[in-house]
Structure 1
Amino acid sequence: MGQLGFTLDTTSREATLRLNARGRMVLVNPVANRGTAFTEDERERLHLTGLLPGRVTTIEEQVQRTYGQFSRSPSPLSKFIYLSQLRERNEVLYYRLLSEHLEEMLPIVYTPTIGEAIERFSHEYVGARGVFLSVNHPDRIESSLRDFELEPESVDLIVVTDAEGILGIGDQGIGGIQIANGKLGLYTAAAGIHPQRAIPVMLDVGTDNLGLLHSDRYLGERHARVRGRQYDDFIERFVRVVSEVFPNAMIHWEDFGVDNAHRILKRYSGEVCTFNDDIQGTAAVVLAAAIAAVRLTGMPLARHRVLIYGAGTAGIGIADMMRGALESRGHDPGQFYAFNRNGLIIEDSPELRDFQRPYARPRAEIDGWEVANPSKVTLMEAIRHARPTILIGTSASGGAFSEEIVREMASYCERPIIMPLSNPTDRSEARPADLLEWTSGKALIATGSPFASVRRGDVHHAIAQANNALIFPGLGLGVSITRARLVSEEMIYAAARALAGLVNEHRPGAPLLPTMSDLRLVAATVARAVAETAEAQGLARRPLTNPTHDIYERMWKPEYPQLDICETRKDTQS
């Protein structure tokens, strides 16, 4: 990677920074800047003497100081802004601070705080790393990507969004660039993918958010969302340019609208190295939690009955992942029941989307149930008749899993598996403490939002958080190590099984997933499973030699790189 007098080799764990720049040009570049950590010799050779306070400090001292500044920020949003500004000032220090306080800072740099940062993007604008591509100027895609000044062979990841389906807050227009940056931050903090090997991209196709369109401060294209042929042509051109300019990059699709997300993934997954985190990442984490949970129940996953409450991108993605994992092992695809806003999905339900149709129940089955309205079967009616053993919430409907519903499920199921996955906390379908109370402590739980542990008697129940960060960083690392041509379903199943393998579910009260504090171990474990599967399937363009060594060497640690200070004409003249 080279830019404005800086060249950084990011191919190994111990990078070397080659510097031609001098003076303030060094300090204003976040890759080169190390602030007061420049030594006396480095300051003299780089013409920094007098541009910094006299005392030389260590990175450990810088972390202590910045952590104090972070802690004194009065609100989650102000903490987010502080960290964003630190990243733009000193990249290594930002990632060092984040890595040492990852569990505390994850809710700031990712969900839930990033949702507020996205909503306030145009009002609180302080700059944002990324490439902004407009649907009105498709001819500028290639030049804009090249202007980011990363070498074609050195880019591993491109995280791209059109911001139509941001978290639980919907269409947020150009502010979606923050979700791309948040994801890339976790790729680095968890999996050690160097931040200079990734590009965040915002596809600005307009917005249907009237609040944004009527705001004088809105920074994006001021028109309704472009759809249809023009939208598809824009996506097609983007994919083609990325494939040509950055041939080793995995395209990570993030927070697209429900219909576009499934359509785009289906269109390109067999042609380019691509992955949709909302569909595949969420599903893989939930599959891992389900694998751990069913080991406790003693009943194979193929015999469980699964009810998905919220048949959108995430919900149907979970169902697809579970069915695919079962079929890949030669099992029947299992029994699935899915709900949309019209109730249980039945073959003659109105407003069925194509990706939901595989989960429509036969009308003949429902005719045998006692229901108030055969055209709109309620959750309680489905619980009573279908008798699911796994209940998954992706509806963003807070409190949907009521006491009556949970107690009904517990009446026929010894260890009900219940996953209220909707974010943020107030949209969670149920709270873990209530679920444990209503099931006498027997529920096996994973949530979307972070929840505190719950004590019942002598058992301390740690609550698993089904956070995509347990899957996508390791997946991206495994893909980058092998330069995989595609992301196959088998690679994602392998990631889920590897994640489940890290769980000791037999310890009383143990969570069904690893904790956020173990993200580096998780990412390395997932990466190995993904890389080995890619190689076994013939998808690896770069063979593994020693998987453990290969992964360790690629996991960058946020330390100031060795400096190679090049002599300039100004140096010889002085």
Structure 2
Amino acid sequence: MTEQRRYEVLPGNHGSRVKVHIRGGDILWTPRLNRGTAFTHEEREQLGLVGLLPTGITPIDAQLHRAYEQFLDARTPMAKYRRLTALRDRNTVLFYRLLSEHLEEIMPIVYTPTIGDAIEQFSHQFTRLTGVFLSIDAPETIEQSLEASGRGADDVDIIIVTDSEGILGIGDQGVGGIQICHGKKSLYTAGAGVDPDRMLAVGLDVGTDNLGLLNDDLYPGLRHARVRGQRYDAFIEAFVAAAQKLYPHAMIHWEDFGAANAHTILTRYRDRICTFNDDVQGTAAVVSAAALAAIKGLGERLRDQRIVIHGAGTAGIGIADLCRDMMVESGLSEQEADDRFWCLNSRGLILEDSAGVRDFQRPYARRPDEVAAWDTDGRGRVTLADVVRNVHPTILIGTSGQPGAFSEPIIRDMAAHVARPIVMPLSNPTTLAEATPSDVLDWTDGAALLATGSPFDPVVRDEAVYHVAQANNALVFPGLGLGVAVCRASRVTDRMIAAAARAVASLVHLRAPGAPLLPRIGDLRRVSATVAIAVARAAAEDGVAGVELENPVQDVFDRMWQPVYPELVLD
């Protein structure tokens, strides 16, 4: 019996009433129903739990205190991760109550960076795991596998899916990548109140090129090289078709696909189904939000910025695309907007005659004659230093994975021509950051406006405290998913992504020196609700909303699941 057949959530705000179809010990093995020693004596009598629990009753606040003590008692990040995973698999409400009340402290454990270690150790730490695994060697079982989750057509709001090729900064991790889907799922719930039962985590097993996994006796995935080309495309198509048939109202959230597949899949399906790629669109939205907040604080306009992006991959080009779209919306032509960007890959500035330029990079390729008269270092390619020297960018974004790429000469050169340079070294983890906030502030005499990809401690300089904004996608994707679910959007449009970025930026007020460019993660519920309302309104404007919201604030709030023990209704 699937968990969904063991109980059903009854209509009402926040999932506060649940009808129970099982009795006795089965309840204690069902995380959504189990509340351990918090069951009252009356509930124990009604549910057949007498004798299966100690006599004393422990209210949820005391359980929360105990769970937090146990979390703190774990000595290493991975030990903390395992303890939290065990709690999630035992008691859904208590897990999310703990995560919600200590989000800033616990998020690095259930998500990046610790989730990366959990993924790498997946084969050796394998325990109970929920989710759906689909094999490219058995495409005929896709629909059967999805149906095994026990969800009906109206029971799924979001499907989080990965093929594990581009996991974080660690690359191809085979079926272990399913853990990143669970990390995202946790943040959808803790950050935006998306009901955890209304999401599916799906792993697409298409093989792996990771030789360490292929030669590991404990690896539980397919033991052959990663499948590509036409067979891969057919597998993705079969998955999309089955997901649409079974869960017609669900948004498909693509996670950690390789750069080429990420853009290809998004382009192929964005006008056909409700689909979202967090690495492309989520990153773009949160970085754009930081840029918009900085520009607003300076009293300037986005359309007037000169933007250099060092690292023209999935994330970098996604940022460029969204900023370009907002420039066009403000009145620039597409060509005028394209001309505000200079994008570099590992070979330097992307030119029209550069080798290996991908389709999604081409709009930003510069003409060779533009740079012919530039003052360059003459190394046979146009380097980042060359671009900064000749362009005088107002915004410098790093998504290159090249530590130290934003060197002192480059930052000082930028600051020599721009009073308040906006600098975003976004590469994760901290060891791959293009520069550290303290160095950037030193090299700009404290004038830089900063956002980073990894968390950094505040920087104290000249008695001022500079709080460094972390451009974390969690500020965007939970609220976007909630907004899509509330209005039952049939598509995720560019206007909806831009609305999410503007909503996040609207919550930032740079009144004091050192104020961060983005909201705090600890304020994520408010941020997500704000994003959800903006996304739902944009969906209505674009004509893709399936439900008209009469009172968006109330409608969004009512949809946000709360981590409290629900009223149990006996069948």
Range into which the TM-score falls when normalised by the shorter chain: over 0.9
Residue 362 (1) aligns with residue 362 (2): no
Shift, 1:10, TM fit: 6.6
CA distance in 2, matches of 1:301, 1:457: 30
Residue 92 (1) aligns with residue 97 (2): no
CA distance in 1, matches of 2:202, 2:4: 19
SS of equivalent to 1:415 = coil
CA distance in 2, matches of 1:440, 1:476: 40
Residue 128 (1) aligns with residue 129 (2): yes
CA distance in 1, matches of 2:496, 2:379: 41
1:13–1:557 contact (8 Å) kept in structure 2: yes
Tell me the equivalent position of 2:67: 66
1:109–1:182 contact (8 Å) kept in structure 2: yes
SS of equivalent to 2:276 = strand
CA distance in 2, matches of 1:401, 1:533: 37
Q: 1:109 to 1:2 in 2, by over 3 A?
A: closer
Once the two structures are superposed, residues 175-201 of structure 1 have per-residue CA deviations (whole angstroms, 9 ceiling, x without a partner) of: 110101111110000110000000000
SS of equivalent to 2:341 = strand
SS of equivalent to 1:426 = helix
CA distance in 1, matches of 2:20, 2:557: 27
Equivalent residue runs for 1:284-433 within 5 Å: 284-331=285-332, 332-333=336-337, 334-373=339-378, 375-433=380-438
1:85–1:126 contact (8 Å) kept in structure 2: no
Q: What is the TM-score when the length of structure 2 is the normalising length?
A: 0.97
Tell me the equivalent position of 2:13: 12
Equivalent residue runs for 1:79-478 within 5 Å: 79-331=80-332, 332-333=336-337, 334-373=339-378, 375-478=380-483
CA distance in 1, matches of 2:28, 2:117: 30
Tell me the equivalent position of 1:572: none
SS of equivalent to 1:115 = helix
2:538 to 524, 533, 551: 533
Shift, 1:8, TM fit: 2.3
Shift, 1:372, TM fit: 3.5
CA distance in 2, matches of 1:252, 1:414: 40
CA distance in 2, matches of 1:80, 1:231: 33
Shift, 1:296, TM fit: 2.7
CA distance in 2, matches of 1:112, 1:95: 19
Which amino acid in structure 2 is aligned with residue 177 of structure 1?
A: I
1:10–1:194 contact (8 Å) kept in structure 2: no
CA distance in 2, matches of 1:146, 1:323: 41
SS of equivalent to 1:287 = helix
SS of equivalent to 1:152 = coil
Which amino acid in structure 2 is aligned with residue 523 of structure 1?
A: S
Identity %: 55
1:119–1:172 contact (8 Å) kept in structure 2: yes
Shift, 1:7, TM fit: 2.0
Equivalent residue runs for 1:41-56 within 5 Å: 41-56=42-57
Shift, 1:565, TM fit: 1.9
1:556 to 561, 568, 571: 561
Shift, 1:129, TM fit: 1.7
Once the two structures are superposed, residues 486-538 of structure 1 have per-residue CA deviations (whole angstroms, 9 ceiling, x without a partner) of: 00000111111111000002322110010101100000000000001111221
CA distance in 1, matches of 2:513, 2:538: 33
Equivalent residue runs for 1:5-44 within 5 Å: 5-9=6-10, 12-44=13-45
Residue 514 (1) aligns with residue 519 (2): yes
Task: Provide structure 2 residue ranges, at least 5 long, that are not aligned to the other structure.
Answer: none
Residue 483 (1) aligns with residue 488 (2): yes
CA distance in 2, matches of 1:4, 1:547: 32
CA distance in 2, matches of 1:38, 1:158: 32
Task: Provide structure 1 residue ranges, at least 5 long, that are not aligned to the other structure.
Answer: 567-574
Which amino acid in structure 1 is aligned with residue 389 of structure 2?
A: R
CA distance in 2, matches of 1:267, 1:93: 40
SS of equivalent to 2:181 = helix
CA distance in 2, matches of 1:20, 1:317: 47
SS of equivalent to 1:247 = coil
CA distance in 2, matches of 1:74, 1:276: 35
CA distance in 2, matches of 1:7, 1:14: 10
Tell me the equivalent position of 1:569: none
1:2–1:150 contact (8 Å) kept in structure 2: no
2:259–2:313 contact (8 Å) kept in structure 1: yes
Which amino acid in structure 2 is aligned with residue 502 of structure 1?
A: L
Once the two structures are superposed, residues 217-241 of structure 1 have per-residue CA deviations (whole angstroms, 9 ceiling, x without a partner) of: 1111111110111100000011111
1:128–1:178 contact (8 Å) kept in structure 2: no
2:9–2:15 contact (8 Å) kept in structure 1: no
Shift, 1:45, TM fit: 1.6
2:457–2:467 contact (8 Å) kept in structure 1: yes
CA distance in 1, matches of 2:475, 2:423: 19
CA distance in 2, matches of 1:32, 1:343: 56
CA distance in 2, matches of 1:309, 1:10: 49
SS of equivalent to 1:103 = helix
Once the two structures are superposed, residues 450-482 of structure 1 have per-residue CA deviations (whole angstroms, 9 ceiling, x without a partner) of: 111111123211111100000001100110000
Once the two structures are superposed, residues 334-370 of structure 1 have per-residue CA deviations (whole angstroms, 9 ceiling, x without a partner) of: 5111111111111111111111111111100111113
Which amino acid in structure 2 is aligned with residue 22 of structure 1?
A: R
Tell me the equivalent position of 1:570: none
SS of equivalent to 2:130 = coil
Shift, 1:11, TM fit: 6.1
CA distance in 2, matches of 1:138, 1:15: 38
Which amino acid in structure 1 is aligned with residue 358 of structure 2?
A: R
Shift, 1:295, TM fit: 1.8
Shift, 1:374, TM fit: 6.2
CA distance in 1, matches of 2:198, 2:71: 27
Tell me the equivalent position of 1:77: 78
Range moving further from structure 2, 552-561 or 328-337: 328-337
2:192–2:560 contact (8 Å) kept in structure 1: yes
CA distance in 1, matches of 2:243, 2:6: 26
SS of equivalent to 2:14 = coil
Q: 1:471 to 1:3 in 2, by over 3 A?
A: closer
CA distance in 2, matches of 1:118, 1:339: 30
CA distance in 1, matches of 2:161, 2:11: 22
CA distance in 1, matches of 2:439, 2:12: 49
Number of residue pairs matched by the alignment: 566
SS of equivalent to 2:203 = strand
Shift, 1:313, TM fit: 0.2
1:273–1:484 contact (8 Å) kept in structure 2: yes
CA distance in 1, matches of 2:165, 2:358: 18
Once the two structures are superposed, residues 150-170 of structure 1 have per-residue CA deviations (whole angstroms, 9 ceiling, x without a partner) of: 221021000000010011111
Once the two structures are superposed, residues 296-351 of structure 1 have per-residue CA deviations (whole angstroms, 9 ceiling, x without a partner) of: 33332111111111111000100111101111222241511111111111111111
2:437–2:450 contact (8 Å) kept in structure 1: yes
Superposed CA RMSD: 1.2
